Structure 1
């Protein structure tokens, strides 16, 4: 069964003014679609064509891994955003953030530092380690924590195509906008 391009969980204009419809059309409609199409082209007629996208990511290498990981990372990224977001986390997630980072503002500052330090293209993640602690990590290119022991909770795409139309090369301004869209309910739902 081919991998499907997931629908955005909101309309293409819903994230404005922080992320434009033009950016979503390019990012979801072209880039994400291209990764899904590349996965499907590579798995057609193989034993992998019946696997879930997560299993393909975990069981592949080379160009198939790159396309599958990018497809998975993007699908996860869309879930991390919501047009009516912007509040601070609450409940168990807030408690863990406060324990690990001091407060949500310190989490944002540390996350932004990590995201700004990614040279070239990649991703900034909030993850939960198997022992329950939270951490901020980054991955380059198509890499993803999905292939390790940590559980992804939140991701910010810092590939230039994620923000260039709206912010040009101003990644810091893009990160400010990102925090206004974080879907803390989704992030909370990923806790183990």
Structure 2
């Protein structure tokens, strides 16, 4: 019903910043488990997904029956968050934004480096499992937030632009307990051309 995205790169192509074993395990095992669990959860609830994307569902989470709502938040968020994360990574990324997005970043955070520092700080400091995000808020402004577990920004009326997965399975095989090193290195494979495209589609 809802599946994982097709990667635009091979498992080893994000090295040395993210190792092949981590990408293979993260994408092929962890993400697949969320896909399988979500499919099982939605059996007998075909009306929920009819003519809707997973993003539509997470954006209107209170319409989901209470009996499965938390499961959809957990499993659906697991699919959507991971699909988004893998979609903005590239072995040949554009390393910095330009145009309207850069202008918005400078206006909000002072500079591109200032924004990176803020995302790094909240991602490194986030307690337990979760995500660091650059989002567009309900007023069309850029905002840096974290979410816990698999909670999606979509469920609090925020549009994802960039995310850093800070669940241990995203980095532990290579970085062990050094979350900060992983967070700082991931910028080498974040593709700003993809993020610009999302932003420009939202603000046009």
2:195 aligns with one of 181, 187, 190? 187
**Alignment-derived partner of residue 12 in structure 1:** 11
**Alignment-derived partner of residue 146 in structure 1:** 154
Q: How do residues 105-120 of structure 1 correspond to structure 2 at under 5 angstroms?
A: 105-120=113-128
Relative to the length of structure 1, the TM-score reads 0.94
Alignment of 1:163 with 2:162, yes or no, is no
Secondary structure at 1:19 match in 2: coil
Unaligned runs of 5+ in 2: none
**Alignment-derived partner of residue 23 in structure 2:** 24
| Whole-Å separation in 2 of the counterparts to 1:96 and 1:30 | 37
| Whole-Å separation in 1 of the counterparts to 2:169 and 2:4 | 18
**Alignment-derived partner of residue 62 in structure 1:** 70
Question: Is residue 94–residue 193 contact of structure 2 (8 Å, CA) maintained in 1?
Answer: no
**Alignment-derived partner of residue 32 in structure 2:** 33
Alignment of 1:93 with 2:101, yes or no, is yes
Count of aligned residue pairs for this structure pair: 191
The runs of at least 4 aligned residues of structure 1 exceeding 3 Å deviation read none
| Whole-Å separation in 1 of the counterparts to 2:94 and 2:171 | 19
| Whole-Å separation in 2 of the counterparts to 1:5 and 1:129 | 26
**Alignment-derived partner of residue 79 in structure 2:** 71
Alignment of 1:45 with 2:41, yes or no, is no
Q: Deviations over 1:80-100 (max 9, x none)?
A: 211112521111111111111
| Whole-Å separation in 2 of the counterparts to 1:141 and 1:152 | 16
| Whole-Å separation in 2 of the counterparts to 1:187 and 1:177 | 18
| Whole-Å separation in 1 of the counterparts to 2:95 and 2:174 | 23
Question: Is residue 4–residue 36 contact of structure 1 (8 Å, CA) maintained in 2?
Answer: yes
Q: Compare 131-140 and 23-32 and name the one that shifted more.
A: 131-140
Unaligned runs of 5+ in 1: none
| Whole-Å separation in 2 of the counterparts to 1:13 and 1:112 | 24
